[in-house]
Structure 1
Amino acid sequence: MAPATEGPVRVEHLVTSGTFSLDGGTWDVDNNVWLVGDDREVLVIDAAHDADAIAAAVGDRRLVAIVCTHAHDDHVDAAPALADRTGAPVLLHPDDLELWKLTHPDRAPDGELADGQELDVAGTTLTVLHTPGHCRGAISLYAPGLGTVFTGDTLFAGGPGATGRSFSDFPTIVESIRERLLTLPPETVVRTGHGDDTTIGSESGHVREWIARGH
């Protein structure tokens, strides 16, 4: 009998819906949930809103980790339930622990993310880039072997993420994007926390426009 094939490493995409709450306001949102892996193991980026739907997408594969690009509630609300179901660790940058506790005061993340840390799944490596500004512990995940970067809410199609709420800072997000993201190859696909994909090259001009406007 031939050995079972693992299949090529691939990026899978799921959209889940719920709410985002902070600073006394609540908004309806659709979130991108990203899965990176092959037929045997997978990593989830941002367990948003619906643990059942994400678990169904994982299927019978081993879930290596649940990586949080940041700790806004719409990106982490389903993380503990998914972790309990699968046994996978929840990983978060420690600078976002205060924000995490607003959603999960009685359940800490299982591990920390650090700038330069490498996460391996299905024979590919994702490197953690600390990209604060949208919030203090925001990170991006760069996968050069896949030609893509997962930016959470740091960089979108059209410019930087929002910085008008607690834990955020506009000059910091601009520096993160300019120094950590725009230095990646221009053809790198940007997979965001909400909305459509873009590329590093496409966003270079948009970010310069935002800097000139100062917001």
Structure 2
Amino acid sequence: MKRLVKLFMGVVVLLLAGCAAKSVQRNVVLDSSSGKGLVVISVSHDRVGSRGMVGTFYMDRKNGLSDMTMLRTLGEAFPGVVKGSQFKDSYGQVLVLELAAGKHSMDSWRAARQAGYEITPSVDPSPLEFEVVAGSIQYLGNLHLNMESGKNAVGLTVIADAYPEVRDMRARDIALVEKIYPQFKDSISINLLPLGPWSAERGNTRFISPLFYPVTK
């Protein structure tokens, strides 16, 4: 029964792909009277995961899957076709998001392949909270999924597990942002999420459709 629930939840997430976060337009300007501010955050996963693996970080999840924002390590060029990576050492992208002033949080994560295999925390980790100030732009850091490889039942190398962490990649990320948004050069403040592993108390859950071979470490 639990596996059926996990499969259903995975399908629902795919159907909600339109909720994936996208960066603001290039001509955006800061306006304190708008009641909104900008945050810069990058999301990525190890290259061992390949472009077939997509990591998702969930932000401001309040009332289930329908009320949240999803930050994907690879965006879509077209429906079902992922974009290339902005980074040389990992698959990922930098996002510049416009958010309402006030408190926000990163709440959970997921790593999944199109073949039906996914890795999620068994219990959501403690949320990573941050505050947005109207008319400001701030850098929060890099949410990265470290991938652990393993062998499946037929001896093929596959992704066996994933471990998220928060990294300070300001030199790389801010340089990319300032290239796309030159109006923010030298004006991005630093307000990092807590650095280091973002661990859940009970480890991770790995689910795979019965049509595919199970993964073993």
TM-score (norm 1): 0.26
Structure having the higher helix fraction is: 1
Q: Which has the higher contact order (CA 8 A, sep 6+)?
A: 2
